[in-house]
Copies of this chain bind each other. A is one copy, B any other.
Amino acid sequence: MSPIYDRVALIGLGLIAGSMALAMRRAGLAGEIVGTARSAETRAVAAEIGLVDRVVETAAEAAEGADLVVLAVPVGAMGAVAAEIAPHLAPGATLTDVGSVKRSVIEAVAPHVPEGVHFIPAHPLAGTEHSGPRSGFAELFDNRWSLIVPVPGTDPAATERLKRLWEGMGANVEEMDPDHHDLVLAVTSHVPHLIAYTMVGVADDLRRVTDSEVIKYSAAGFRDFTRIAASDPTMWRDVFLTNKEATLEILGRFTEELFALQRAIRTGQGDELFDYFTRTRAIRRGIIEAGQDTDAPDFGRGTKARS
């Protein structure tokens, strides 16, 4: 493939930016990839492993002369980084981000975007529980969705170009409105993460059930929660603080349902429980048919057929 952008600047060099660098390189989508991160340590690791073509010291320097600038820092840091790079953005350049929340990123970044720069928010729905400059891999976005969340008045040609980049990195692309994005993600990602963190926190707190028992016997279901709850604390703090409204709305629904099931347990309503547990199976089938997860028992984790 011929390059889609001559120079891509990655601001932040963690899981998402690193995977983007490797995916762009795999398909030859960028003439040059410049990257920077907040800490000297991350920049040194990125340089050492050759994650990008050139590591620079500051976000301003990275943005200089780039025709695509990607904000790949925690959601709560987007506004400050945008303010820092704004004077250095080239006219006609595209500025995008990969933040997990969209309404608040748009509110924080849009005011800084200079005339003539195309600001096109995006969010790849792909990740793992690992983070940092060594965690990226080229296949992260393959067959995953990347959502483009255009703001009013966005140039269609610039949007089309960014879409081609994501497709070149392996993703399927769809457009979505920011508020709808934030609600859908509250359901499919944010509240599930909060619940997993909570359950792991409860287990950690229980003194009668010692840590070592929780760990030893985790394979019975709990260990799946611990994977999710091992995700980056900064990233998730920012997600909950910036997607407060949708998170609280879905949490409200969740506790309402949980209380109904709790009452069914307390009062011994077996049929109600049975019906509830039957209904939820259909969604799993849908996910497998849509190619969004494996049907191998237990995700096929570890050796081929190990629980």
Contacts and interface: CB of A to CB of B under 8 A. Distances in A.
Interface in A22-56: none
A188 B234 CA distance: 26
A217 B274 contact: no
A157 interface: no
A240 interface: yes
A140 interface: yes
Contacts of A130: 297
Contacts of A1: none
Contact of A220 (B138, B141, B188, B209): B188
Interface stretch (A85-93, A108-116, A158-166, A249-257): A249-257
Contacts of A140: 305-307
A254 to B, nearest CB: 5
A228 B220 contact: no
28 contacts: A128-B307, A129-B297, A143-B306, A187-B206, A188-B222, A189-B217, A189-B220, A189-B221, A191-B202, A193-B221, A198-B261, A200-B284, A202-B250, A215-B283, A218-B292, A223-B287, A226-B280, A229-B277, A231-B277, A233-B277, A233-B278, A240-B265, A241-B268, A241-B270, A255-B255, A294-B302, A298-B299, A299-B299
